[in-house]
Homo-oligomer: A and B are copies of this chain.
Amino acid sequence: MSERVRSHWAWGYEDAFPDEAALGKLEKRLAMTLSGPLERETAVPLGSIELPKPRIVPPYELRAFGSDAPSDRIHHAYGKGYRDLVRAFRGDIKSPPDWVFYPESEDHIASLFLYCEREDVAIVPFGGGTSVVGGVETVLEKGFRGVVTVSLAKLDKVLSVSKVDRTARIQGGMKGPALETALAAQGLTLRHYPQSFEHSTLGGWIATRAGGHFATLHTHIDDFVQSVRMLTPRGPFETHKVPASGAGPAPERFILGSEGAFGIIVDATMRLQEAPRWRAQATVSFEKMDDAVRATRALAQSGLHPANCRLLDPVEALVHQVSTRGDAVLLLAFESHDHPLEAWLERALSIATDLGGTCEEEGRYSSEKSQESSAWKSAFLGAPYLQSALVSLGVMADTFETACTWESFPALDAAIRADVGDALGRACGGGLVSCRFTHVYPDGPAPYYTFLGKATRGKELEQWATVKEAALGAIKRGGGTVTHHHAVGRWHKAGYESERPSLYGDVLRAMKQKLDPRGILNPGVLI
């Protein structure tokens, strides 16, 4: 597995990229939907990309665990958002990191801090590099002589496990699959499956408050963090290992969402679970989207805490082939390591059918040792591959998400569909917008939108900016949040600044000043 090669521009492993047959099929389908021939291209190969020379020469003892090889610099120049894919596809890499470091110890990180503070070099902490908001982009900000990426790839071990507490102390650079494999050997699981699972890291999840597997209750990584250890230029910051505390403002919450601007997350003690043994699930169809929203709200407020409660609008239901009748579809599931779930599912279905839903018998079961629908799972984890494939086919495809109250959802949703639809018309001559709820709360849903339109070669970034601006504007006017789980990074900064309390910006800057007085950590991101 360690020999699989990651694409220098597309999502994930090169060997998992859709093959010619799949691309051809996709191309045909999309050309119909987007009415017109697509402008297919191939990526600029890694070896043909021209890079500027490194602006700095780090001292010998740092070079020992770093690299300025073009391949390392290219792989760490961008995240995996649409803008990143397009630029890397075209070989457009103007500001790669000057060096990439792979520290193997806290001492290595401390040495990097000293060097970078002394030499005015910025540090971009890098987990799996899957940011879709410009969170790992190595822009040279004013006042810096260079930018280096600090990859956590070598800090990738489980340090200790407590079966009694069901916790494990895990290093920040550990990726999803390796982490789950190591924990499975102990009969435990974190069960945090963001769409980036295959390539993202624990440290990255914590730094960005990643959204995970559970549609209700513990939706973000936040609640699974018992304690976290972060290295800052002023020293280590490690929170107390207790299940709960009422002592002052919670220190771990300052680290969650700090996006590499306060320090580098070296390890965390995580709350785990036993692998689920029972699963009960059902598919519920609704002729009217309004009824589906009302039923989903009732479920979110029921106290039943379904593990999955994903509502697809008619377009998404069609694309994911769960309904071809134009229905909205609610995918509902409960899971437990402890008990059968028939009573839970039965009550949930009674709520959903009372409010206009129809439960499809073929989609319903409750049993021991069953698994989440593997069709959905592979489509879910495959979606980022698909987005990359679309780039090569000349299709602009991206997603954005928010969270809002139930009261504000109808108007917000209508505004997003209208404004994004209009922007797609202006930028691409038309396109598609669809919506699903990825997570739901008693006080509101987290709607997740997908849009696509025909790309015009060389104009993709402007096209995308037009649509993204329309989306952000509608979210802001409608009272949503700029991000439910994609983080702030560079691309959501303006929206974030208008949404956070204005005094809070001062507070964050004061905190940063204490932990990172020279401002070397991820400048330009978040703060």
Which residues of chain A have a CB within 8 Å of any CB of chain B? Answer: 162, 164-167, 208-211, 217, 219-220, 222, 226, 232, 234-251, 253-259, 271, 273-274, 297, 301-305, 336-339, 343-344, 347, 351, 403-407, 439, 441-446, 479-488, 492, 496, 499-504, 506-508, 510-511, 513-515, 526
- Chain B residues, Cβ within 8 Å of A244: 219-220, 403, 439, 441, 444, 446, 481, 484
Report Cα–Cα, A257/B251, bound state, in Å. Answer: 11
- Chain B residues, Cβ within 8 Å of A511: 507, 510-511
On whether the beta carbons of A240 and B499 are closer than 8 Å, the reply is yes
- Chain B residues, Cβ within 8 Å of A479: 241-242
Report Cα–Cα, A242/B210, bound state, in Å. Answer: 17
Report Cα–Cα, A485/B248, bound state, in Å. Answer: 10
Please give me the residue from chain B that is nearest to A479 by CB atom: B241
Known contacts A247-B482, A503-B235; decide if A166 and B442 are in contact (CB<8 Å). yes
On whether the beta carbons of A245 and B507 are closer than 8 Å, the reply is no
| Known A247-B492, A304-B339; further 11 A-B contacts with Cβ < 8 A | A164-B297, A237-B504, A239-B501, A240-B500, A242-B481, A243-B446, A246-B483, A250-B257, A254-B254, A301-B338, A510-B510
- Chain B residues, Cβ within 8 Å of A255: 249
Looking at A217, A246, A274, A503, the one whose CB has the most chain B CB atoms below 10 A away is A246
- Chain B residues, Cβ within 8 Å of A226: 443
Looking at A337, A404, A481, the one whose CB has the most chain B CB atoms below 10 A away is A481
Query: Contacting A515 at CB < 8 Å: which of B241, B339, B507?
Result: B507
- Chain B residues, Cβ within 8 Å of A251: 500-501, 504
On whether the beta carbons of B248 and A496 are closer than 8 Å, the reply is yes
Report Cα–Cα, A496/B487, bound state, in Å. Answer: 31
On whether the beta carbons of B249 and A165 are closer than 8 Å, the reply is no
Report Cα–Cα, A486/B244, bound state, in Å. Answer: 12
On whether the beta carbons of A481 and B240 are closer than 8 Å, the reply is yes
Query: Contacting A257 at CB < 8 Å: which of B248, B339, B344?
Result: B248
Report Cα–Cα, A162/B479, bound state, in Å. Answer: 15
On whether the beta carbons of B247 and A164 are closer than 8 Å, the reply is no
On whether the beta carbons of A167 and B443 are closer than 8 Å, the reply is yes
- Chain B residues, Cβ within 8 Å of A257: 246-250
Looking at A210, A244, A274, A301, the one whose CB has the most chain B CB atoms below 10 A away is A244
